[in-house]
Structure 1
């Protein structure tokens, strides 16, 4: 191997390592739900190429309202699935869809788009 081949190989490996780190190991900002006067924990989530925020902390035993605003027409984000709560909701483009649930047990619960490409987590403490 000459110098150019070594340089290209090392650069490719470095880029692959960065992609793996970014998608699987980088720290994600966490949003905590805000409790309303009625005791409902509310979080606004924007859906545009992903979920923002994509990690949400809530308290166990209190009702949660997730407000999904879909700010795109991408077919992948047409619905949201929260399998552990048996929830599947259509998300119309440029509208807010309310998803209500009551987390009884502490843990981490994943939510995804219908294709499983967009991902987020609900962390119940």
Structure 2
């Protein structure tokens, strides 16, 4: 009986995990000598979002990304992807930019 109960729990927990993974929005951004690309992103509200940021240049001040509304400021190693969990997004917009607020920034529009 315990075996069946454990098996059922595993099946349903894996189903719930797969279901949650399916609806997650992955937003990929490159940091180039032109800035954040793309710099304008649209997503639907209520969907969990993950920002994947890859810095491909060493020619700018973009060695960090900051997202003030989420209290996020992270280093961006060259040619490595940094994943940032933004959680479920509510209607509005989220601004992001370099760590020194000098480089062209971008916005995520949630609508």
Bin for the TM-score computed over the shorter chain: 0.7 to 0.9
Higher relative contact order (CA 8 A, sep 6+): 2
Matched, 1:78 2:36: no
**Count of aligned residue pairs for this structure pair:** 90
Could you tell me how far 1:81 is from its partner in structure 2? Answer: 0.4
Question: Unaligned regions of 5+ residues in structure 2, if any?
Answer: 1-19
Moved over 4 A (4+): none
Report how far residue 104 of structure 1 moved: 3.8
**Higher percent of residues as strand:** 2
Backbone CA RMSD of aligned residues: 1.7
> Aligned to 1:48, which of 25, 28, 32?
32
Q: 2:23 matched to which residue of 1?
A: 39
Contact 1:103 / 1:124 at 8 angstroms: preserved in 2?
no
SS at match of 2:22: coil
Match of 1:59 among 34, 38, 44: 44
